[in-house]
Amino acid sequence: MTTCSLSFPPQINLASLPTPMQPLRRLSQKLGVELYIKRDDLTGAALSGNKIRKLEFILAEALGQKADMLITCGGAQSNHCRATAIACAMLGLNCRLLLRTPDPSNPPPVEGNILLDRMAGAEIVWISPDEYLKRDELMAQEAAALQADGRKPFVIPEGASTSLGALGYVRATEELVNDITNNLGGARQPCTIICAAGSGGTTSGLILGAKIFDVNARVAGVNICDDRDYFVRAIGDICEQAVADFNLDIEFDRHQDIDIIDGYVGRGYALSRTEELQLIKEVAQTEGIFLDPVYTGKAFYGVVEELKRDPKCFGERVIFIHTGGIFGLFPKAQEMVGVL
């Protein structure tokens, strides 16, 4: 049952949808809970992952403004930047990426997502972590310089995590309603929906979508960087902006509706612990599904550790959103060898 009306703005169809939801039978038996995985790693091949759902709305806006150059930012192995670069190639747009690396004068090897960025024709501007703190200002400067040359740039914030981008996962919640109906025995079956929280847009969309489509679910994010307070602010801002921008007739309270499972950042963003890599290997060997070391591996590790302490901490049924990122495994090859 829809609790409020939402007229979606224009979007372009780039993702392969709907994605399947699969039971994790062997892991369910081991962990004592019904465990399912929503395969958003199957939104495409090179476009694998959650970012393309957000970009379908944001790129439609860019095309509507007749943009000819997209500018965005992320870490060196950013899935969002890779998806943006490939989508730009598909749409005939130019792309400029501001990528973070410890030493911009000595950038990382051309592998994983960086290789795909380059193959898709993206321009890469390497910036330091200190410069990245001013990423919005730097992207605005890049856009201003392009405008002065007669270009029409369009800036996409980190992770495409805006009120407009969040609609990608509001719309994904429509799929989840069907998944729950078909796999769990009815649309009103209770469950917990869990995803990795990196920039907040996916979690925001799922929170809003659960309210709009009246899903009987707890929605939680496992933060893979920063901390709970950061994501309450970031997700709260996105959700509140979406409510205002799209006139959503729902009640939203950032202090009650944002559920962050903290404590699993480990060594830090994109830095892996042995136990995280071992779990990635275990999921691959027991279920034939490949998690990534930056987002889904860390987040799923958090889910597993919580379930080990209390198999019913999330209720009887858990749906984990696989947000993609397989290309992030390749730069970790030597670390993975140590756990194989």
DSSP string, 69-118: EEEEEEETT-HHHHHHHHHHHHHT-EEEEEEE-S-TTSPPPS-THHHHHH
Encoded amino acid at 52, one letter: I
Residue 338 CA to its chain's centroid (Å): 27
Residue whose structure tokens are 């890049």 = 142
d(CA 56, CA 165): 8
Which 8-state DSSP code applies to residue 155? E
Active site residue 16: no
- Find the helix packing angle between 163-184 and 228-245, rounded to 10°: 100
Q: Are 184 and 226 in contact (CB under 8 A)?
A: no
d(CA 290, CA 91): 29
Among residues 48, 78, 163, 199, the one annotated as catalytic is 78
Q: How, if at all, do strands 21-23 and 34-39 pair?
A: antiparallel
Q: Could you tell me which residues come within 8 angstroms of residue 276 by beta carbon, excluding any fewer than 6 positions away?
A: 266, 293, 297, 298, 301
Q: Could you tell me which residues come within 8 angstroms of residue 150 by beta carbon, excluding any fewer than 6 positions away?
A: none
Phi (first) and psi of residue 123, to 5 degrees? -85, 135
Instruction: Calculate ∠ Cα 64-66-71, nearest 5°.
Output: 100
> Three-class SS of residue 319?
strand
**Residue 35, Cβ density class (10 Å: 0-12 exposed, 13-18 middle, ≥19 buried):** buried
Catalytic positions, please? 78
